[in-house]
Structure 1
C-alpha cells in the first residue's frame, strides 16, 4: 500500500495524474460545466417567470441570468457549436425579458389590496418552452462536440 501512495504522489508531482495532456477531456468537462450552469439558469428563469414576486424582481433576475450567460459565452473558448448554442440561449432570455416588459401588476381578485402579475398562460408556457429548448441545445452541443472530437 505505501508503494502505491508513493507512486501516486510521483504521478501527481509530474502532472501525469492531473490529465494535463488531455485537452479534449478538459474541454468536455468545461462544456459539461457550462451546460449544467445553463440548466440552472434555465430552471431559475422558468421558476421566476411562473411565480414572480414582483415585476422589478423578475427583471432583476432576468438581467442577472443574462449577465451569467454572457460570462459563460466568454468561458466557452473556441467551441463554435457551444458559443452558437449559448447565443441561442441568450436570445431566448432576451425574448423572455421582452415578454416580461409587457406584463403588468394588477390588484388580486382575492385581495384587491395585494398586487399580482397577470400573465397569459399560453404565452407563459411558450416562453418557458423556448428557454427549456435553448438550454437543451446547449447540452446537445456538448454531446455533439465530444462526438466530433473523438472521431
Structure 2
C-alpha cells in the first residue's frame, strides 16, 4: 500500500512539474503569449512602415498605395483573430490607415509641395496610438486563448 502511494505521488509530482504548477504556475511561454508576441511584432512592423511611408517624401498617390498595402496586411491579421477585442483593435488600426490614406491628399504643403511636417507627425501619432491598443487587447487577462 505504501509503495502505491509513493508511486502515485511521484506521478502527480511529475505531472505538476510538466505543467508548470509546481513552479508557481508558469511554464515559460504559452501558445497565447507566443501568438500575441508574433501579432504585436507584425503590427509594429506595419505601424512603423506606415509611419515611415508618411515621413518619406512621396506623392499622395504613392503614399496612398503603400498605406493600402499595409491595410491589407492588417485585414489579413484581423481575419485570423479569434479574440474579439484583438479583432476590434486590428479593425481600428485598419480604420486609421484608411483615414490617413484619405487625408494625405488634403494635408497642408509648403511652397515646394512637401507635406507639412507637423501634419505628418499628427498622422503618425494616430497610427501609433491605434497600434498600441493591440498590446492592451492581446494581453488582457480576460481575453480568450489565441489572438
Identify whether the pair has TM-score above 0.5, normalized to the shorter chain: yes
* Matching residue within 106, 109, 113 for 1:102: 106
Aligned length: 118
Partner of 2:79: 74
Whose strand fraction is larger, Structure 1's or Structure 2's? 1
Please tell me whether residue 125 in structure 1 is matched to residue 118 in structure 2: no
Q: 1:69-102: CA deviations, max 9, x gaps? A: 00000111x2011011101111111111011132
| Match runs of 1:44-59 below 5 Å | 44-59=49-64
Q: Which consecutive segments of 4 or more residues in structure 1 shift more than 4 A? A: 103-107
CA distance in 2, matches of 1:68, 1:36: 13
Please tell me whether residue 84 in structure 1 is matched to residue 88 in structure 2: yes
Flag the 1:149–1:138 CA change in 2: closer, same or farther, 3 A.
closer
Structure 1 unaligned runs (5+)? Answer: 1-15, 17-23, 109-116
CA distance in 2, matches of 1:149, 1:44: 28
CA distance in 2, matches of 1:85, 1:50: 24
Greater Rg, structure 1 or structure 2?
2
Residue 149 of structure 1: how far off its partner (Å)? 5.5
**Is the 8 Å Cα contact of residues 42 and 132 (structure 1) preserved in structure 2?**
yes
Residue 104 of structure 1: how far off its partner (Å)? 8.3
> For the aligned residues, what is the CA RMSD?
2.8
Structure 2 unaligned runs (5+)? Answer: 1-17, 19-28
Flag the 1:149–1:54 CA change in 2: closer, same or farther, 3 A.
closer
Q: Which moved more, 1:127-136 or 1:94-103?
A: 94-103
| Match runs of 1:137-148 below 5 Å | 137-144=133-140, 147-148=141-142
